[in-house]
């Protein structure tokens, strides 16, 4: 039997402890290495896990001298997977219309409501998957990251089944409000909204698949979506308004919303919008928009009327060939700036007066302590208390109005009127306290304000 060599194998362990290598020096004494000797040397170096014993036997039998060969491998940890929810509804509704290749606007692409039916599966929870710890070649465990459980869904209008499945409890509209799942009732008409059917006043969303007859009033705490033509009626919403086919106001219609408006067109309509407006045509309308008006489709135009937008206007064309008077105003009005200055002074004066009132009441408290006499019913103290109540309420109200006005003024900074195609004579542009009467046809220009005048710059964007 061959003699076992006295040469010692060279063992190298990587810095991360995940691999071990063996190099066999050529024996000078004519001996040989055995797998058992190699395994003993690995053990002396602390390598006790992930050893490939077949590799050791091959290394010894084939006499691979002077070559570094990997013989042991650690096991990497397999991290666990967090639990997650699989939602069975669209959580990212696109509330902006799609611009078709020909430049026209597809208002039927706008979707602000995801409807569900009672019993419909809304979400399925997938529990976390446990991880598996790893180990180095030295047998040192490497902990794996554990999968985390997710909290149960919160909200209303749904039920939890078998711990992992959530289903709608009612027919309605589903939406995510921050981290809450909410199913709200929806008032839905398959046909027209007519006078014979009465007015609509609903706390949720309103969806009308037909048109709306003149004289009808529709009020919603949520959104209003109307597929057909809307005549001279009243629309009032707490959220967005979508008119897929437009509105023929007849100088009797009124639209008011705290959200955004998307409509194919408005004619002879009074519009008040706290958000943005996107439409194709505004014809002889009175519009007050606290956001931005966007009418950049191929047919986007404002003709006649008085249109105001705090954050600016982007439109394809302004006015018409007949030089119809069209008034356009962007930015905060001079009245807003004046009112803000008045409020700032008033808030300061009220705050100072309130400090004096508080000081007067504090003196009565000190007198009570020093003299041991109650001044609770003293007419002077009662007068100060009434003044405190009055001034506190006034201060809170004025501060709230001041904050809103300041935000409005800040949003209006840099507001301009961008006309992608042409601006006709007869258009009047007002930015802040400056006015400009357009007397000549202007093409692809943006009207903006300098310190003492309104001027223009090119804004060509390739509108056909």
CB atoms within 10 A of CB 415: 20
pLDDT at 108: 62
For the chain, 464 residues long, give each residue's pLDDT as a single digit of tens: 467 777 889 999 999 999 999 999 988 877 888 889 899 999 999 999 999 999 999 988 888 888 999 999 999 999 999 999 999 888 776 667 777 777 777 766 666 667 788 889 999 999 999 999 999 999 999 999 999 999 999 999 999 988 789 999 888 888 888 888 988 888 888 899 988 888 888 888 899 999 999 999 999 988 999 999 999 999 999 999 999 999 999 999 999 999 999 999 999 999 999 999 999 999 999 999 999 999 988 889 999 999 999 999 999 999 999 999 999 999 887 777 788 889 999 999 999 999 998 988 888 888 888 887 787 888 888 898 899 999 899 999 999 988 888 887 777 788 899 999 999 999 999 998 889 999 999 999 999 988 889 999 998 654 44
Angstrom distance (rounded) from CA 87 to CA 85:
6
Long-range pairs of 243-251 with CB within 8 A, sequence gap ≥ 24: 243/107, 244/107, 244/108, 244/110, 245/107, 245/211, 246/280, 246/281, 249/285, 250/214
pLDDT at 463: 42
Quick check: 210 and 192 in contact, CB under 8 A? yes
Q: Name residues whose C-beta falls within 8 Å of residue 106's C-beta, 6 or more positions apart in sequence.
A: 97, 98, 99, 100
pLDDT at 107: 65
pLDDT at 464: 41
- Phi, psi (rounded to 5 degrees) for 128: -65, 155
Residue 202: beta bridge partners? 220
Angstrom distance (rounded) from CA 405 to CA 423:
31
Regarding beta strands 68-73 and 19-23, do their DSSP bridges make them parallel or antiparallel, or are they unpaired? antiparallel
Half-sphere exposure of residue 44, counting CA atoms within 13 Å on the CB side?
A: 12
């Amino acid at each position: 039997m061959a003699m076992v060599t006295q040469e010692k194998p060279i063992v190298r362990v990587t810095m991360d402890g995940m691999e071990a290598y063996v190099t066999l020096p050529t024996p000078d004494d004519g001996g040989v290495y055995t797998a058992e000797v190699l395994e003993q040397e690995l053990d002396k170096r602390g390598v006790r896990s992930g050893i490939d014993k077949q590799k050791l036997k091959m290394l010894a039998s084939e006499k691979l001298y002077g070559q570094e060969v990997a013989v042991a491998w650690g096991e990497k940890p397999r991290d666990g997977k967090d639990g997650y929810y699989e939602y069975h509804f669209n959580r990212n509704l696109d509330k902006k219309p799609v611009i078709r290749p020909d430049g026209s606007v597809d208002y039927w692409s706008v979707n602000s409501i995801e409807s569900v039916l009672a019993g419909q599966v809304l979400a399925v929870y997938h529990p976390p998957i446990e991880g598996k710890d790893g180990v180095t070649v030295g047998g040192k465990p490497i902990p794996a990251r554990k999968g985390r459980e997710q909290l149960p869904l919160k909200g209303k209008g749904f039920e939890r089944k078998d711990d992992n499945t959530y289903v709608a409890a009612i027919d309605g509209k589903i939406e995510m409000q921050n981290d809450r799942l909410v199913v709200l009732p929806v008032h839905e008409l398959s046909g027209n909204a007519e006078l014979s059917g009465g007015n609509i006043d609903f706390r949720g969303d309103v969806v009308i698949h037909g048109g709306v007859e003149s004289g009808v009033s529709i009020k919603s705490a949520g959104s209003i979506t109307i597929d057909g033509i809307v005549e001279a009626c009243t629309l009032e919403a707490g959220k967005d308004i979508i008119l897929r086919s437009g509105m023929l106001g007849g100088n009797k219609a009124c639209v008011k919303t705290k959200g955004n408006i998307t409509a194919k067109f408005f004619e002879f309509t009074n519009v008040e919008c706290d958000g943005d407006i996107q439409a194709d045509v505004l014809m002889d309308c009175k519009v007050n928009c606290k956001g931005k008006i966007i009418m950049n489709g191929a047919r986007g135009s404002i003709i006649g009327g008085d249109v105001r937008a705090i954050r600016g206007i982007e439109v394809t064309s302004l006015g018409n060939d007949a030089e119809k008077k069209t008034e356009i105003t962007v930015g905060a009005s001079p009245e807003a700036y004046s009112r803000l200055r008045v409020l700032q002074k008033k808030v300061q004066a009220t705050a100072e007066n309130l400090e004096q009132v508080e000081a007067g009441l504090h003196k009565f408290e000190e007198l009570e302590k020093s003299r041991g006499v109650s001044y609770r019913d003293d007419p002077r103290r009662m007068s100060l208390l009434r003044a405190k109540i009055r001034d506190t309420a006034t201060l809170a109200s004025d501060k709230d109005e001041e904050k809103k006005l300041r935000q409005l003024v800040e949003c209006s900074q840099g507001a301009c009127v961008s006309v992608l195609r042409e601006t006709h004579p007869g258009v009047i542009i007002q930015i802040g306290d400056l006015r400009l009467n357009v007397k000549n046809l202007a093409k692809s220009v943006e009207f903006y304000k300098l310190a003492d005048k309104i001027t223009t710059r090119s804004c060509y964007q390739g509108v056909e």
